[in-house]
Amino acid sequence: MDVISVIRAKRDGHALGPEQIDWVIDAYTRGLVADEQMSALAMAILLNGMDRGEIARWTAAMIASGERMDFSVLDRPTADKHSTGGVGDKITLPLAPLVAACGAAVPQLSGRGLGHTGGTLDKLESIPGWRAQLSNAQMLEVLGDVGAVICAAGDGLAPADKKLYALRDVTGTVEAIPLIASSIMSKKIAEGTGSLVLDVKVGSGAFMKSLDDARELASTMVGLGTDHGVRTVALLTEMSTPLGLTAGNALEVRESVEVLAGGGPEDVVELTLALAREMLDAAGLPDADPAKALADGSAMDHWRRMIAAQGGDPDAELPVAREQHVLTATATGRLTRLDAYDVGVAAWRLGAGRARKEDAVQAGAGVELHAKPGQDVVAGQPLLTLHTDTPEAFDYALASLEGAYDIAAPGSDEAAAHRPTPIVLNRVS
């Protein structure tokens, strides 16, 4: 085998054979294929695609590059969830302890934010003492005791994907559906969960902008999970408007705790319950009632135990940004649009996100929403509050919010015709 032949084959639109795929993934993992050569292959895949057989083999080769975890010693079924990323997407935080409270074990391997999308680990690290890095033995111990764990993937899990993910991010190939699908599913299958629910975001704040692209990605990932013996289902969910009323790290933790306490924004509660029901059904627990677990406090109890088991103090005060700036409504009428991408970029520029994986984030930075599309606003009332420790970032963040929202005049046809988009747009199984 030689990498030039593999690159040329995909460049010219040919399907890669199993031996070619196995060889190139193994060689890249071991450093025998250079980054610039894998970049060329990734771009060829972005432009020419892969068929289902190629994607399945590519995924299997990435799984084979590292270890596989085994949760068969647990006394309960396992269920995991993965989101393709969005703005204000804090669902994992209340979801994992909620599903655990209903009888399933949730081995949630999560990541960090990059660009306008937030990262679950960054959010949880705003809790004093909480740690993301656990050994496999520690992860299994927390799962056995609490029923839920949220942590970083170990270095031994799909190391080929770890290298390729970082490369895709800096070479303009993140959007390649075969590479997105194989990246997500190689880690999830290697993780060893028995069932998986995928939250595939659709809209301006998501990587998949159109419903058709999101459906293609969801179908590809569901097929990969099924082919590897993991019961997999996907929900396509709305991400043109930020989820909930916050985008940031500590801000989103506070909102998640509100949900666990029986309150919180309606859209966050709705999506949390929808995903919980799918996870419990996939785990063979269709009669469990997640709404009851929220109402009776058992989900909150599991949250507190989960945080404490990873060194965090669930009673500690969360960080608060030193500076705030209020953006007010420019007109009176009905808010008909609040763009998720623009809000995500503002939160990123305020310090809640990172441009490079090595960058630090501010725990208290982010954007707080005071109104959502469909609500009436009055000129001069607070629309968004910006939070940061670095006030020089306000102008940069405000620039991203120019044109981020629309307000329809009272009584206008546009105001009357506006209808909120459903949270769950479709289901793929």
Report the pLDDT value the prediction gives residue 117, as an integer from 0 to 100.
86
Average pLDDT over residues 19-39: 97
For residue 198, the surrounding DSSP H or E stretch is: strand 195-202
In the three-class reduction of DSSP (H, G, I as helix; E, B as strand; rest coil), residue 233 is classed as strand
Report the pLDDT value the prediction gives residue 230, as an integer from 0 to 100.
95
Q: Is the pLDDT of residue 420 over 90?
A: no
Residues 6+ apart with CB under 8 A from 203: 209, 238, 239, 240, 241, 340
Catalytic residue status for 183 = yes
Q: Is the dihedral of CA 217, 220, 226, 230 positive or negative?
A: negative
Q: What is the largest CA-CA distance in the chain?
A: 68
Report the pLDDT value the prediction gives residue 75, as an integer from 0 to 100.
93
How far apart are alpha carbons 105 and 147 in whole angstroms? Answer: 5
Cα radius of gyration (the chain) = 22
Bridge-based pairing of strands 405-408 and 333-338 is antiparallel
Catalytic residue status for 334 = no
For residue 350, which amino acid is it?
A: L
Residues 6+ apart with CB under 8 A from 167: 35, 38, 39, 42, 173
Residue tagged active-site, from 80, 89, 122, 161: 161
> What's the pLDDT tens digit per position in 326-355?
999 999 999 999 999 999 999 999 999 887
DSSP string, 126-195: TSTT------HHHHHHHHHHHSEEEEEPPTTS-HHHHHHHHHHHTTT-TT-HHHHHHHHHHHHHHHT-SE
Q: Is the dihedral of CA 153, 157, 161, 162 positive or negative?
A: positive
pLDDT, averaged across the chain = 95
Residue tagged active-site, from 65, 110, 183, 256: 183
Question: Which of left, alpha, beta for 387 (phi over 0: left; psi -120 to 50: alpha)?
Answer: beta
Report the pLDDT value the prediction gives residue 172, as an integer from 0 to 100.
85
> What's the pLDDT tens digit per position in 212-248?
999 999 999 999 999 899 999 999 999 999 999 999 9
| Domains of the chain, each with CATH number or no CATH | 3-49 (1.20.970.10), 80-154+174-316 (3.40.1030.10), 323-417 (3.90.1170.30)
Catalytic residue status for 325 = no
> What's the pLDDT tens digit per position in 354-389?
877 678 899 999 999 999 999 999 999 999 999 999
Q: Is the pLDDT of residue 305 over 90?
A: yes
> What's the pLDDT tens digit per position in 95-130?
999 999 999 999 999 988 877 888 999 999 999 999
The two structure tokens encoding residue 5: 């032949």
How far apart are alpha carbons 112 and 124 in whole angstroms? Answer: 10
Report the pLDDT value the prediction gives residue 118, as an integer from 0 to 100.
86
Residue tagged active-site, from 116, 162, 163, 187: 187
Catalytic residue status for 82 = yes
Q: What percent of the chain has pLDDT over 90?
A: 90
Report the pLDDT value the prediction gives residue 9, as an integer from 0 to 100.
98
Report the pLDDT value the prediction gives residue 355, as an integer from 0 to 100.
74
For residue 250, the surrounding DSSP H or E stretch is: helix 250-260
The two structure tokens encoding residue 396: 């940069």
Q: Where are the alpha helices (DSSP H) in 67-116?
A: 92-101
Residue tagged active-site, from 90, 123, 163, 168: 168
Average pLDDT over residues 157-184: 89
Report the pLDDT value the prediction gives residue 116, as an integer from 0 to 100.
85
For residue 321, which amino acid is it?
A: A
Residue tagged active-site, from 81, 82, 90, 231: 82
Report the pLDDT value the prediction gives residue 168, as an integer from 0 to 100.
87
> pTM for the complete prediction?
0.93
Report the pLDDT value the prediction gives residue 354, as an integer from 0 to 100.
83
CA torsion, points 418, 423, 425, 429, in degrees to nearest 10? -170
